[in-house]
């Protein structure tokens, strides 16, 4: 898709066509990406409860690494879509290059730090004595090669901002499909056990990175990526970081929330800890599909806001909320109805793991119906450059609302409190979102009719 076609898709194509053309490829890619995370969990579960626990406690650290890519990738993407809407391609090139090289450089430093303090980090993430040897083996390999994942996440956001959703899909699917093929080979055929799962993931990330490198070197992008284009001017860094930092906070809080759930669950035994792995990965599959669809919403909303096409922006919001909520309702109800059958796929002998996992999946499935509404506005505030609101919403579901709940409910309600902590935070976050959404639409109407209102950031 050339630049003119992309601009037409963002600015004038029928909204359903624009959202489907931009969102479905990324959504499909993220679905496959989520599936290969589930495949890792599935094969680890077949090895034993300890190996399942290893993948479970490694997941939060992986989310931190992803957060570094999102810090610069998502921060730049929101700004890039507005710059393209304003026709400022020179500045857009500087922003894209700065984000890519900064993300990889800082990612490498954080990965080195994580390797030095790996065991304390895993212990904080919930690793118990029986899980720790497997967790160290898996995570050490996984984290070394995560520098490619930082590159992939950063590029995914930048590529999505220019509407090249098919490229993002191909990169994600190439790695995901390869991981599904390599997992049984390395784990069983080569008899590498849990280390084999990490090696398969590492190779898959390298392949995904190769797709993006091909895209860059063949000059298929709207942007020119070059170290010489890197610019750390105050204006550019402020625009990237004011969106990137709330996104990073959201990702760090996601990691924190998973770690806190794992830590609370381990008090009820290894089976309860292991049960959190499949539940987290299954619900992450639903969230990634929503995120993938909203990657199509993001450039349309950003372009419309930058071009002051308020009618088109409102249409994009309405369509995105409706479609994402329908999906969340279907996905959530399926998780509720088939909870026991789903969790049973990840263990053949541990009945307690199935019992705990099924209860957790039912609770999370019910509250997931609210996720689409919450996430549309979380994306919207960020793409509009509303850093304060984006930060509040980004921190709500996994932080502001979640932390008090996870600290109090288990003390009052035991294991049931652990399982219901995230659903309770979901409900509170949806209420906060509704209040902020009303205020946002008032501001949009005022901007369209030139009626002054106090800015949202104050």
User: Is residue 221 within 8 Å of residue 367, measured between CB atoms?
Assistant: no
**CA distances (Å), 434 to each of 145, 269, 342, 376, 437, in order?**
40, 38, 32, 11, 5
Angle at which helix 146-161 crosses helix 15-47, to 10 degrees, equals 170
pLDDT at 363: 93
Q: Is the pTM of this model over 0.75?
A: no
Is the per-residue pLDDT at 391 higher than 80?
Answer: no
**Which tens digits make up the pLDDT trace of 199-212?**
998 999 999 999 99
User: Is residue 50 within 8 Å of residue 128, measured between CB atoms?
Assistant: no
Is the per-residue pLDDT at 78 higher than 80?
Answer: no
Q: Specify whether the backbone of 414 is left (phi greater than 0), alpha (psi in -120 to 50) or beta.
A: left
Q: Residue 167 — very low, low, confident or very high, per pLDDT cuts 50/70/90?
A: confident
**Which tens digits make up the pLDDT trace of 278-301?**
888 889 888 888 887 887 788 788
User: Is residue 292 within 8 Å of residue 67, measured between CB atoms?
Assistant: no
pLDDT at 26: 62
Name the residue with tokens 């690793």: 127
Q: Any idea where the domains of the chain sit in the sequence?
A: 12-449
**Which tens digits make up the pLDDT trace of 25-57?**
666 656 666 666 677 777 877 787 788 888 878
Q: Residue 453 — very low, low, confident or very high, per pLDDT cuts 50/70/90?
A: very low
């Amino acid at each position: 898709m050339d630049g003119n076609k992309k601009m037409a898709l963002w600015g004038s194509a029928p909204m359903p066509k624009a959202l489907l053309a931009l969102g479905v490829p990324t959504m499909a890619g993220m679905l496959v990406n989520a599936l290969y995370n589930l495949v890792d969990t599935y094969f680890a579960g077949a090895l034993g409860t300890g190996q399942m626990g290893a993948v479970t406690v490694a997941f939060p650290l992986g989310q931190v690494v992803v957060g570094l890519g999102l810090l610069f990738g998502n921060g730049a993407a929101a700004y890039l879509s507005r710059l393209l809407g304003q026709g400022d391609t020179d500045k857009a090139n500087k922003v894209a290059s700065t984000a890519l090289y900064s993300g990889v450089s800082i990612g490498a430093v954080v990965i080195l730090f994580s390797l030095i303090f790996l065991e304390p980090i895993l212990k904080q993430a919930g690793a118990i004595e029986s899980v720790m040897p497997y967790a160290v083996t898996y995570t050490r390999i996984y984290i070394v090669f995560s520098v490619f994942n930082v590159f992939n996440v950063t590029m995914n956001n930048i590529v999505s901002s220019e509407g090249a959703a098919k490229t993002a899909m191909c990169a994600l699917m190439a790695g995901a499909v390869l991981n599904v093929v390599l997992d049984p080979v390395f784990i069983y055929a080569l008899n590498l056990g849990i280390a084999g799962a990490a090696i398969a993931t590492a190779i898959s990330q390298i392949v995904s990175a190769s797709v993006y490198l091909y895209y860059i070197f063949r000059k298929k992008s709207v942007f020119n990526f070059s170290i010489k284009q890197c610019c750390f001017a105050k204006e550019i860094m402020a625009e990237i970081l004011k969106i990137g930092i709330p996104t990073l906070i959201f990702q760090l809080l996601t990691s924190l929330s998973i770690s806190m759930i794992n830590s609370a669950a381990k008090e009820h035994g290894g089976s309860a800890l292991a049960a959190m792995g499949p539940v987290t990965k299954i619900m992450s599959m639903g969230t990634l599909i929503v995120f993938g669809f909203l990657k199509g919403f993001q450039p349309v909303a950003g372009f419309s806001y930058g071009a002051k096409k308020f009618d088109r922006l409102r249409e994009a919001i309405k369509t995105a909320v409706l479609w994402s909520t329908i999906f969340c309702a279907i996905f959530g109800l399926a998780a509720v109805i088939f909870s026991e059958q789903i969790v049973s796929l990840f263990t053949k002998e541990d009945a307690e793991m199935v019992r705990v996992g099924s209860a957790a999946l039912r609770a999370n499935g019910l509250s997931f119906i609210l996720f689409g509404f919450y996430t549309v506005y979380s994306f919207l505030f960020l793409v509009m450059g509303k850093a304060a609101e984006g930060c509040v919403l980004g921190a709500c579901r996994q932080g502001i609302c979640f932390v008090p709940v996870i600290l109090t409910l288990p003390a009052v309600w035991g294991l049931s409190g652990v399982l219901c902590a995230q659903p309770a935070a979901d409900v509170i976050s949806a209420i906060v979102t509704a209040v902020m959404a009303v205020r946002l639409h008032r501001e949009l109407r005022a901007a369209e009719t030139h009626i002054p209102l106090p800015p949202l950031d104050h």
